Amino acid sequence: MTPSDARSRPIIEVKNIRKEYPIGDETVVALKHINLNVMRGEICCIFGTSGSGKSTLLNQLAGMEKPTRGEVLIGGVPISRLNENQLASFRQRHLGFVFQSYNLLPNLTATENVAMPLLFRGVPKAQREAAARKLLCRVGLSHRLDHFPRQMSGGQQQRAGIARAFIARPDVVFADEPTGNLDSKTTVEIMNMICTFARDYHQTIILVTHDPEMASYAHRIVTLIDGEIVSNQVNNKEKSRHET
Ligand SMILES: Nc1ncnc2c1ncn2[C@@H]1O[C@H](COP(=O)(O)OP(=O)(O)OP(=O)(O)O)[C@@H](O)[C@H]1O
Ligand SMILES: [Mg+2]
């Protein structure tokens, strides 16, 4: 593949995936024949009501679960065929995550939490903590560098969560309802932060939400109903372009 092919090839390719969960004698079909391409640098929103299959789709895209059928490729790598060790290493090198519940490690300071992904990349302590402090300052936490998660507000923890997701410059950042526990003013701040990082580093974001306001930040909005994509639209009015 030539470099220009690599640039024009979607960073995420979803090929006809289906996800079934066996429950006793029954089978829940959470996703039905999903096909989707996401381009590098795109903020792609997976949008839909509760139970429509958003988190299930994100879990298949991020390699957290294996689809029952079909295949997911990230950067051309068929992640649904990797074993657990290969997947863990692929995730550490290429993917970042922002969680609704922040998921910071309670016994580490903000700086240590944010520096963690660089530890997996073999970056020396002084260097990774300097990078973490710099990013924490960028997200407005210069006064909370040595605080533990329990000493920070929800919005502050999520800013640290975002710094942690982006610090190692992963190819794709996955965010499942990242502002689900935050007020509307903090939601706008957090969304602007995610969009700014994505734009500055030309990173791809997969954003799961049921909130049309949050979906409006995306370049592409993929709507799910009952495990099926019912629309896949480019959003020309996306806020990430106009407001940050
Ligand atoms: N591990 C599982 N076992 C069985 N069924 C599951 C499992 N995970 C999800 N489901 C089912 O798959 C469907 C889609 O669930 P999913 O969590 O993807 O929805 P969602 O769109 O993320 O909803 P929400 O907005 O409430 O988070 C639901 O009907 C759910 O009950
Ligand atoms: Mg969900």
pLDDT of residue 129 exceeding 90: yes
Domains in the chain: ranges and CATH: 39-67+77-242 (3.40.50.300)
Strands 204-209 and 43-47: parallel
Q: Measure 54 CA to ligand 1 centroid, in angstroms.
A: 8
Tens of pLDDT, residue by residue over 97-124, are 999 889 999 999 999 999 999 998 999 9
Q: Provide mean pLDDT across the span 215-243.
A: 87
How would residue 244 be classed by pLDDT, with cut points 50, 70 and 90? very low
For the record, the structure tokens of 10 come out as 């979607």
Lowest mean pLDDT among 139-148, 180-189, 225-234: 180-189
Contacts of 26 (CB under 8 A, 6+ apart): none
Q: Point out the ligand 1 atom lying closest to the alpha carbon of residue 227.
A: 14
- pLDDT per residue as tens digits for the range 163-214: 999 999 999 999 999 998 889 999 999 999 999 999 998 999 999 999 999 9
Atom of ligand 1 nearest to the CA of 53: 18
